């Protein structure tokens, strides 16, 4: 890691310090994008001068108390997808060889460690190439223009502060006493899995819960999902939710909706309807809440809402990520809005243009893709309101799906009155790999007729888009 230069230039030039707290995807992307915007400015105006006729220089500083890459790289998105891949392969080999389940945990750990190391090296190279300073320390906001490094006991001034501290799993108090703690898991455990539970209860039937259910089912665990809402997967498209629920039940995964755990005692979970469930481990996946750093200044908070993300770290921001302190911004999961890695990256790019170019772009999340990496996978983008006209096509009409022994699933397109594609839902073993094409189609507002005039590669799973478009033209 780079070390911060102690000498801040005070001569005929002005150094503006941009401090970013958090080196996850929001934080390091913000740093790199800001550096790129500065480079663009320097090419246009090599000697950028302010009103006092002094040259403006920028110093970009990332402060991170843990590992570069944040939750996404080290504990979340990447390790869980790697675990899905490894456990799927393991499930197939176990059916042939009847291996010991616990043999796979070391493979998962070593596979994850090699992936994380490779991707971290790439991020570090990018940061170094942009001459961004990185400090490993815990930060405290001391004032409206200074940050304290707790371990180094050193204060650093800033002109702009970006808070990109990410999120953490929400764990209700019932699971936090000493007796229950040893049996408690969150999705963070996937990156460093040490044992495979025989009986696993997953609390939460959202996307994190079903991804974890898929991983542990592949490892041979008996899974019970408990969701307090009456519907599985919440407000997601009901056709998609029902398809996944049916597939899970075929695999022996039990799903209980409209119920909560009221007591845990001696590895028995007591539900509010009197049911008693045995377990070895409980994995809590009811949602995530923003991580916020210690601050000696006051931030305006959002109004409290009755949801899982409600905590005292929900800081109010405007449409341009500004807090009530105009030189302090919040992006990514720390905003408590749409906790997705690609949304965090999008936030960072928009904010970089605002800080350096003073270009105000209001973020538009209406076409943010959303994926659930279960088996089958679910991929969603755009306006999927049920009142829209819909076209639904089964994968049984696609030859490649039979080649892959995966004919189950469907594509559902949502159309406007001009028969333009405005939304899509895919349920299939490889649904997420097809979503990128639909993301482009929907962003470009292409119509069904325009799609039918394109030549699609055969045999591919993507041909289902053409088949659905043909049906939409009728």
Residue 101 scores a pLDDT above 70: no
Residue of 101, 283, 108, 261 lying closest to 188 (CA atoms):
283
| Domain co-membership, 19 together with 148 | yes
| Domain co-membership, 399 together with 264 | no
pLDDT at 2: 46
| Domain co-membership, 248 together with 189 | yes
State the average pLDDT over residues 230-249: 93
Distances (CA, A) of 30 to 9, 35, 122, 233, 325: 23, 8, 16, 32, 19
Please give the structure tokens belonging to residue 311.
Answer: 């905590």
Residue 311: band (very low, low, confident or very high) from pLDDT cuts 50, 70, 90: low
State the average pLDDT over residues 325-353: 96
Distances (CA, A) of 410 to 243, 404, 464: 9, 15, 9
Residue 293 scores a pLDDT above 90: no
pLDDT at 103: 73
Distances (CA, A) of 52 to 46, 48, 206, 393: 17, 11, 55, 65
Q: Which residues contact 292 (CB under 8 A, 6 or more apart)?
A: 163, 165, 313, 315, 334
Residue 332 scores a pLDDT above 50: yes
State the average pLDDT over residues 90-104: 67
Beta bridge partners of residue 133, listed in sequence order: 61
pLDDT at 195: 85
Q: How many Å apart are CA 311 and CA 315, to the nearest integer?
A: 10
| Domain co-membership, 59 together with 124 | yes
Q: How many Å apart are CA 279 and CA 281, to the nearest integer?
A: 6
| Residue in this structure with the two tokens 């305006």, named with its chain if needed | 300
Residue 306 scores a pLDDT above 70: no
pLDDT at 44: 80
pLDDT at 104: 81
Q: Residue 14, preceding bond cis, omega within 30 degrees?
A: no
| Domain co-membership, 269 together with 295 | no
7: in domain: no
Residue 305 scores a pLDDT above 80: no
Residue 70, phi-psi category: left (phi > 0), alpha (psi -120 to 50), beta (remainder): left
Please give the structure tokens belonging to residue 174.
Answer: 């019932």
Q: Which of 286, 301, 326 is the last residue before a domain boundary?
A: 286
pLDDT at 56: 82
Backbone angles phi, psi at 180, to 5 degrees: -90, -20
Residue of 210, 60, 30 lying closest to 133 (CA atoms):
60
CATH of residue 431's domain is: 3.30.390.30
CATH of residue 315's domain is: 3.50.50.60
State the CB neighbour count (10 A cutoff) for residue 11. 8
pLDDT at 192: 81
The number of distinct structural domains making up the chain is: 3
pLDDT at 9: 43
| Domain co-membership, 129 together with 222 | no
Task: Give the residue numbers spanning the domain of 461.
Answer: 376-472
| Domain co-membership, 126 together with 143 | yes
State the average pLDDT over residues 189-197: 85
269: in domain: yes
Q: Which of 286, 302, 322 is the last residue before a domain boundary?
A: 286
Share of the chain above pLDDT 70, in %: 91
**Direct distance between the N- and C-terminal alpha carbons of the chain, in angstroms, rounded to an integer:** 59
85: in domain: no
pLDDT at 49: 57
6: in domain: no
Beta bridge partners of residue 372, listed in sequence order: 378
pLDDT at 235: 87
| Domain co-membership, 457 together with 328 | no
State the CB neighbour count (10 A cutoff) for residue 22. 29
Which of 308-340 are b and which e, b meaning 16 or more Cβ less than 10 Å from the residue's Cβ? ebbeebbbebeeebbbebeebbbbbbbbbbbbb
Distances (CA, A) of 306 to 176, 303, 309, 336, 352: 21, 10, 8, 13, 33
Residue 346 scores a pLDDT above 90: yes
Residue-wise pLDDT tens digits, 207-230: 999 999 999 999 989 999 999 999
Q: How far is CA 46 from the centre of its chain?
A: 38
Q: Which of 251, 271, 286 is the last residue before a domain boundary?
A: 286
Q: How many Å apart are CA 114 and CA 306, to the nearest integer?
A: 41
Extract the runs of DSSP E, i.e. beta strands, from 176-280.
184-185, 199-203, 222-227, 254-257, 261-265, 268-271, 276-278
pLDDT at 292: 79
pLDDT at 178: 58
Residue-wise pLDDT tens digits, 34-93: 999 999 988 887 666 555 556 788 999 999 999 999 999 999 999 999 999 999 988 877
Q: What is the mean pLDDT of the chain?
A: 90
35: in domain: yes
Residue 16 scores a pLDDT above 80: yes
Q: How many Å apart are CA 281 and CA 263, to the nearest integer?
A: 14
Residue 314: band (very low, low, confident or very high) from pLDDT cuts 50, 70, 90: confident
| Domain co-membership, 160 together with 175 | no
Residue 96 scores a pLDDT above 80: no
Residue-wise pLDDT tens digits, 366-402: 999 999 999 999 999 999 999 999 999 999 999 999 9
309: in domain: yes
227: in domain: yes
| Domain co-membership, 397 together with 338 | no
| Domain co-membership, 339 together with 207 | no
41-55, 223-237, 241-255, 423-437: segment of lowest average pLDDT: 41-55
Share of the chain above pLDDT 90, in %: 77
- The better pLDDT of the pair 128, 43 is held by 128
459: in domain: yes
Residue of 362, 342, 336, 341 lying closest to 351 (CA atoms):
362
Length of the chain counted residue by residue: 474
| Domain co-membership, 261 together with 306 | no
């Amino acid at each position: 890691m780079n070390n911060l230069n102690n000498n801040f230039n005070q001569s005929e030039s002005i150094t503006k310090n941009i401090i970013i707290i958090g080196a996850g995807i929001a934080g390091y992307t913000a740093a790199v994008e800001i550096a790129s915007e500065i480079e663009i400015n320097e090419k246009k105006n090599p000697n950028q001068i302010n009103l006092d006729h002094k040259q403006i220089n920028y110093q970009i500083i990332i402060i991170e108390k843990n590992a570069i890459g944040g939750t996404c790289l080290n504990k979340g998105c990447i390790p869980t997808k790697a675990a899905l891949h490894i456990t799927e392969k393991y499930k197939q080999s176990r059916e042939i060889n009847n291996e010991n389940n616990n043999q796979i945990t070391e493979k998962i750990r070593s596979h994850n460690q090699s992936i994380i190391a490779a991707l971290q090296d790439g991020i570090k190279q990018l940061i170094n190439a942009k001459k961004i300073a990185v400090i490993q320390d815990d930060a405290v906001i001391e004032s409206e223009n200074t940050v304290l490094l707790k371990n180094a006991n050193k204060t650093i001034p800033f002109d702009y502060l970006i808070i990109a501290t990410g999120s953490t799993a929400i764990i209700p108090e019932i699971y936090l006493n000493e007796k229950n703690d040893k049996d408690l898991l969150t999705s963070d455990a996937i990156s460093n899995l040490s044992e495979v539970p025989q009986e696993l209860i997953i609390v939460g039937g959202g996307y994190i819960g079903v991804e974890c259910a898929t991983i542990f089912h592949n490892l041979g665990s008996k899974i019970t999902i408990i969701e307090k809402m009456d519907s599985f997967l919440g407000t997601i498209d009901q056709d998609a939710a029902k398809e996944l629920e049916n597939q899970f039940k075929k695999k022996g995964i039990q799903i209980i909706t409209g119920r909560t755990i009221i007591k845990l005692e001696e590895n028995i979970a007591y539900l509010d309807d009197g049911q008693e469930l045995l377990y070895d481990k409980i994995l809590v996946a009811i949602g995530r809440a923003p991580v916020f750093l210690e601050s000696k200044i006051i931030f305006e908070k959002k109004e409290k809402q009755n949801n899982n993300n409600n905590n005292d770290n929900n800081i109010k921001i405007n449409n341009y990520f500004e807090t009530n302190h105009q030189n302090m911004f919040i992006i990514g999961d720390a905003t408590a809005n749409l906790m997705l890695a690609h949304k965090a990256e999008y936030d960072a790019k928009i904010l970089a243009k605002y800080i350096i170019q003073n270009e105000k772009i209001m973020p538009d999340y209406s076409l943010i893709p959303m994926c659930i990496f279960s088996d089958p996978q679910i991929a969603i983008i755009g306006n999927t309101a049920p009142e829209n006209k819909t076209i639904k096509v089964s994968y049984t009409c696609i030859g490649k799906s039979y080649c892959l022994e995966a004919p189950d699933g469907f594509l559902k397109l949502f159309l406007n009155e001009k028969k333009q594609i405005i939304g899509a839902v895919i349920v299939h073993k490889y649904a997420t790999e097809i979503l990128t094409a639909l993301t482009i189609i929907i962003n470009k507002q292409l119509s069904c007729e325009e799609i039918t005039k394109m030549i699609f590669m055969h045999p591919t799973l993507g041909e289902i888009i053409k088949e659905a478009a043909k049906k939409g033209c009728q």
